[in-house]
Amino acid sequence: MFDNFRKDTINGIAYVMAGSGPPVLLLHGYPQSKALWAQVAPLLAQHYTVVAADLRGYGDSFKPDTTPDTATYSFRTMAQDQVALMAALGFERFHLVGHDRGARVAHRLALDHDCLLSLTLMDIIPTLLAYDKTDMAFAQTYWHWFFLTQPAPFPEKLIAADPDNFYQSSLLGWGAAKLSDFNPDMLADYRRAWHDPAMQHASCNDYRAAATIDLEHDRADLGRMVHCPTLIMYGANGAMGQMYDVPKTWADRCADITVCPIAGGHFFVDEHPQKVAIELLEFLSHV
């Protein structure tokens, strides 16, 4: 994967980079890694300088073990990681594309840092809204939001007993996908990453932070708008697309929205990488 891409780590954040032109940062979600972009990044790199990075706690990035300190895995802290990475690579301003947890980090980055040329949020609604409006449908579909936040080491021990069964249930359950929808090499990289006990623990801390300190940050920023051009992409057949009017949930948070539903479920990047790349290129070309 990522043939002809530079592979390196800066300040604990693992990344790959290739191409030339305006910089685009790609951030993956749970329970994946930067391998999510293996079929999208080469297409974008024909026109842009593309950086795909692992979030802290995931993939090949560092995984600090500070269970009592939820700020260590807050979206604010993870956003600062990525700003520092891009600055170290020489990019003070850049386009940002995030899927799932990566999109939540991206939204926080857009609020905390004036460095974005554009923002793409893939298949999420605002974190605070999701928690404040939780109903039976959301709780049953996104049950992992509540399981992973339980005190350590309860969820970690259950996950460690059979990581493949646990994480693949996420890919196939609320993802509305089949295992055959995932590229075998990319799936192998996801599996390699989630077999690491440090990733299992870190991903729980990610969700623990989201249910605590991230909500504090979001409440403090209610009423603040993202002003850069923003693309809202979502899986038309996925759980978010079925339960919510996804673009409407962002209408009071993003001032300049373009909407793009994609056929498929939550993991539409894996299912339809060429379609995703085409839509991203179309959006970026008009920013």
Q: What is the side-by-side order of every strand in the sheet holding 49-53?
A: 6-10, 13-18, 49-53, 23-27, 94-99, 116-122, 230-235, 257-262
* Residue 164 to residue 144: CA distance in whole angstroms: 15
**Which of 65, 62, 64, 40 is closest to 51 using CA atoms?**
40
Catalytic residue among 99, 107, 201, 266: 266
* Residue 100 region by backbone torsions, left for phi larger than 0, else alpha for psi between -120 and 50, else beta: left
Q: Residue 196 corresponds to which amino acid?
A: D
Q: Catalytic annotation on 144? A: no
Task: Note if 95 is an active site residue.
Answer: no
Of the candidates 105, 20, 110, 32, the one whose C-alpha atom is nearest the C-alpha of residue 270 is 32
Q: Which of 54, 60, 81, 100 is catalytic?
A: 100
CA 203 vs CA 63, 83, 182, 191: distances in Å? 9, 21, 21, 14
Percentage helix, strand, coil for the chain under 3-state DSSP, each rounded to 5:
45, 15, 35
- Measured distance CA(14)–CA(220) in Å, rounded: 31
Active-site residues, by number, are 100, 266
